Amino acid sequence: MKNIAIVSTGGTIEMLPGHGGLDISYHHNPLPIQGNVIPPFVTIEHIRFCSVPSPSITPEIMAQLCLKLEEMTLSGRYHGIVVTHGTDTLEESAFLADIYLRSAIPVVFTAAMRSQSEMGVDGPRNLRGALLTASRHEVHKLGVTVVLNDEIHSASRVTKTYTSNVSSFKSPGYGPLGFVDQDRILLQRKPLWRIQLPECKLKLNQRVGLVRTAAGLGAREIRYCADCGDRALVVEALGRGNVPPEAAEAVQYAVEQGTIVCITSRCYIGRVLGVYNYPGGGADLERRGAILAGDMQGQKLRLLLMASLGIGLTMKNIRKLFERL
Ligand code: ASP
């Protein structure tokens, strides 16, 4: 038998219809843990970590969750852990767990796009897929994974792509690592490398901003973050890592104020690189002191920066860490 812990945090998988729409019921435990959701060779232990919609989950709560998961993975009690979470910020919590944990057992996040009151509910099936995945010992070598809609994704690459569809979770440019097919787990790919924080006690107490640029937009927002004293700032630039010229001046201003500025792209797929030399081009931004941060999604890069600063990494260390991205 495999002893799997289910750590629940809230989200649609726990929600029921209330008067004005879906909401969390604090009085029930409506996680769909019944019938054939639990495979016959699995025993479960349910631990309620919190019960909130995932837009209410802050980086501090994510850090607490990681510390709880670390304690559980080290306890020797479990063969695997499944975390249930709201889909809106699931990729952020799962990513933080992925860069922090050095787990010798599988840690698998899952969720539901539809509540248990809706037609074609996906929560029970996703939970079963996650339990099956967490029962396969070798899954821990893939890092933290995310299982929805019969697909197994790497937490480092997965993102919510669709507001409502059950096939929302995708890894653009990379694809899933494997699949759930009825009772079988088919693993097909293994990431060659993974970003990991140096061994540390996780702390997310540093403020890091996130600004998305658009045509003619970004300068005011970047200056605002610098003036608010953000330790670092992620700029989701255009294309290969370029911003409007005024935004480039704002990047320089932020750097001069002591804010670490990291550039990623608002494109779904691909790396940023300093190939353009015009005012606002990637090469120009590098000269102004910004760090180009590979192909990381802005919301994950922000957490990586928060965690890196929280454990005391310097600008030099951070540059080095990001050189690999
Ligand atoms: N808004 C919900 C949440 O993230 C969506 C979901 O769980 O699917 O909590």
Residues classed as catalytic: 12
Does the C-beta of 53 come closer than 6 Å to ligand 1? yes
Domain count, the chain: 2
Q: Which of 87, 92, 148, 169 to mutate to test the pocket of ligand 1 (most atoms within 8 A of CB)?
A: 87
Does the C-beta of 84 come closer than 6 Å to ligand 1? no
Q: How far is the CA of 15 from the centre of ligand 1 (A)?
A: 9
Does the C-beta of 110 come closer than 6 Å to ligand 1? no
Residue 322 has pLDDT above 80, yes or no: no
Token code pair at residue 26:
């604090």
Atom of ligand 1 nearest to the CA of 113: 8
Residue 319 lies in a domain: yes
Residues spanned by the domain of 214: 208-324
Alpha carbon distance 290, 293 (integer Å): 9
Average pLDDT over residues 133-153: 98
Quote the percentage of the chain above a pLDDT of 90: 86
Does the C-beta of 123 come closer than 6 Å to ligand 1? no
Does the C-beta of 87 come closer than 6 Å to ligand 1? yes
Mark whether 88 and 58 lie in a shared domain: yes
Helix (H) or strand (E) holding 318: helix 315-323
From 127, 153, 187, the end of a domain falls on 187
Q: Which of 50, 88, 126, 163 to mutate to test the pocket of ligand 1 (most atoms within 8 A of CB)?
A: 88
Output 14 or 30, whichever has higher pLDDT.
14
Residue 199 lies in a domain: no
Mode of pairing for the β-strands spanning 178-181 and 291-292: unpaired
Does the C-beta of 113 come closer than 6 Å to ligand 1? yes
Mark whether 7 and 153 lie in a shared domain: yes
Mark whether 171 and 120 lie in a shared domain: yes
Residue 197 lies in a domain: no
Residue reference for tokens 């860069």: 99
Q: Residue 24: what pLDDT?
A: 77
Contact of 193 with 296, CB cutoff 8 Å: no
Q: Whose CA is nearest to atom 7 of ligand 1?
A: 86
DSSP letters for 159-213: EE--SS-TT-EE-TTT--SEEEETTEEEE----S----PPS------S-EEEEE-
Alpha carbon distance 135, 185 (integer Å): 10
Q: Binning pLDDT at 50, 70 and 90, where does residue 14 land?
A: very high
Does the C-beta of 8 come closer than 6 Å to ligand 1? no
Q: Whose CA is nearest to atom 3 of ligand 1?
A: 86
Q: Binning pLDDT at 50, 70 and 90, where does residue 117 land?
A: confident
Question: How confident is the model over 176-204, as pLDDT tens digits?
Answer: 999 999 999 999 999 998 999 988 889 99
Atom of ligand 1 nearest to the CA of 12: 7
Contact of 321 with 313, CB cutoff 8 Å: yes
Q: How far is the CA of 121 from the centre of ligand 1 (A)?
A: 14
Does the C-beta of 11 come closer than 6 Å to ligand 1? yes
Q: Residue 90: what pLDDT?
A: 98
Q: How far is the CA of 23 from the centre of ligand 1 (A)?
A: 10
Q: Residue 27: what pLDDT?
A: 60
Question: How confident is the model over 82-92, as pLDDT tens digits?
Answer: 999 999 999 99
Long-range contacts of 66-71 (CB under 8 A, 24+ apart): 66/96, 66/97, 66/100, 66/101, 66/202, 67/201, 67/202, 68/7, 69/7, 69/97, 69/101, 69/103, 69/107, 70/100, 70/101, 70/103
Average pLDDT over residues 122-127: 97
Alpha carbon distance 29, 14 (integer Å): 7
From 156, 187, 218, the end of a domain falls on 187
Of 21-35, 51-65, 202-216, the one with minimum mean pLDDT is: 21-35
Q: What pTM was computed for the model?
A: 0.96
Residue 26 has pLDDT above 70, yes or no: no
Q: Residue 323: what pLDDT?
A: 72
Residue 325 has pLDDT above 80, yes or no: no
Per-chain mean pLDDT for the chain: 95
Contact of 185 with 136, CB cutoff 8 Å: yes
Quote the percentage of the chain above a pLDDT of 70: 98
Token code pair at residue 168:
């929302």
Alpha carbon distance 108, 139 (integer Å): 9
Mark whether 66 and 171 lie in a shared domain: yes
Helix (H) or strand (E) holding 47: strand 42-48
Q: Binning pLDDT at 50, 70 and 90, where does residue 28 land?
A: low
Atom of ligand 1 nearest to the CA of 112: 8
- CATH value at residue 12: 3.40.50.1170
